Amino acid sequence: MYLHQLERLSRARLLSLFILCISGLFASNIVAQQATFSDNVLNIPKATVGQKAYSLDLGLSVNGANYDFGLLAASEIPFNGTEGASVFDGQILRVPSLAAGGVDYTLDLNLISSDPIIFRLATYSIVESSVQSKLEQATALYKESIDPQTVQMRCVVCHIQGGLAGGSDLLFTRSSSTSITTNFGIFSQFLDNRDTRRTKLLNKVRGIDHDGGVQLTEGSVGYTQFEKFLKLLLEYQAGV
Ligand code: HEC
């Protein structure tokens, strides 16, 4: 009875560890050497031991609080380096990238038996993407530079309800605790995943067909930042 409960408990934990392993299987096609977990089998497409490389299938069994992975199949593959590979140092098998449920994990498996070969999950952590997403980059740039230096100092005087540009589709709010989020959203809405909108914004600020005249001169830091911001935001909207 007690054991049964324990097993259920560890199943629940396992579920949170390997959320949606099925989608991990799809993600694996993108990065060839990324390990995947599906139907209780951890597939490691490339594990190196010294100058040899293998493709491994390890079967999971839950023993109390432990996740043990027994060797189900191994086949030797050409070595050609350790980049992206899981590396076995004689004791620990380090899996640099396991895709599961859209999340990238890194695992350390500890060899606890060599006959039969069984590894035990020692540690795991989520791999933080070293590259900021387009949205993160756009948001950071907006907050640090665009809103304080351009929108608040140059646009909001006219582009506000009741202002000279009050009838336009670009209405900002003055600096407040929520203005950055609000104004970012206004750009987002105006841009609307359309490159023509990006061009329009760039033209207007340069004074082309703009009743507000020149606000940012081409080549200035402000213009370059604004251009970069719009590019990032549009790429995010387009899913690039
Ligand atoms: C001196 C007032 C003034 C300032 C400052 C100003 N604008 Fe304008 N802007 C206008 C007016 C008036 C219009 C509406 C007529 C037109 O399209 O030129 C307008 C229109 C626009 C449009 C077209 C909106 C639409 O509905 O299609 C964009 C885009 C724009 N401005 C961007 C900016 C940005 C970005 C800034 C700040 C860098 C800015 N403007 C600063 C007066 C201003």
Assess whether pLDDT exceeds 60 at residue 9: no
The owner of tokens 């498996």 is: 109
Residue of 183, 186, 211 to test ligand 1 pocket, by largest number of atoms within 8 Å of CB: 211
CB neighbourhood size of 191 (10 A):
19
123-129: which pairs have CB atoms within 8 A and are 24 or more residues apart? 124/17, 127/96, 127/97, 129/104
CA 210 to centroid of ligand 1, rounded, Å: 6
Q: How far is residue 222 from each of residues 218, 219, 233, 238, measured CA to CA in Å?
A: 9, 8, 16, 24
The answer to whether the CB of 212 falls within 8 A of the CB of 200 is no
Residue with CA at minimum distance from ligand 1 atom 29: 201
The answer to whether the CB of 60 falls within 8 A of the CB of 72 is no
CA 157 to centroid of ligand 1, rounded, Å: 10
Ligand 1, closest atom to CA 201? 29
First vs last Cα of the chain: how many Å apart? 52
DSSP 147: I
Question: Does the pTM exceed 0.85?
Answer: no
pLDDT of residue 129: 63
CB neighbourhood size of 43 (10 A):
20
Ligand 1, closest atom to CA 168? 26
Reported as a pLDDT band with limits 50, 70 and 90, residue 130 is low
Q: What percent of the chain has pLDDT over 70?
A: 84
pLDDT digits (tens, 9 = 90+) for 152-184: 999 999 999 999 999 999 999 999 999 999 999
Euclidean distance between CA atoms 2 and 18, whole angstroms? 24
Ligand 1, closest atom to CA 155? 37
Euclidean distance between CA atoms 234 and 240, whole angstroms? 9
The answer to whether the CB of 23 falls within 8 A of the CB of 36 is no
Helical H segments across 46-194, by residue range: 134-141, 179-191
Query: Using a 6 Å CB cutoff, which residues line ligand 1?
Result: 150, 154-155, 157-159, 164-165, 168-170, 200-201, 204-205, 210-212, 215-216
The answer to whether the CB of 96 falls within 8 A of the CB of 114 is no
pLDDT digits (tens, 9 = 90+) for 74-113: 999 999 889 889 999 999 999 999 987 667 889 999 999 9
Reported as a pLDDT band with limits 50, 70 and 90, residue 227 is very high
User: Among candidates 28, 46, 29, which has minimal Cα distance to 37?
Assistant: 28
Give me the chain's average pLDDT, please: 86
SS3 sequence, 183-212? HHHHHHHHHCCCHHHHHHHHHHHCCCCCCC
Average pLDDT over residues 31-44: 84
Euclidean distance between CA atoms 202 and 184, whole angstroms? 16
Residues shown for the chain = 240
Reported as a pLDDT band with limits 50, 70 and 90, residue 23 is very low
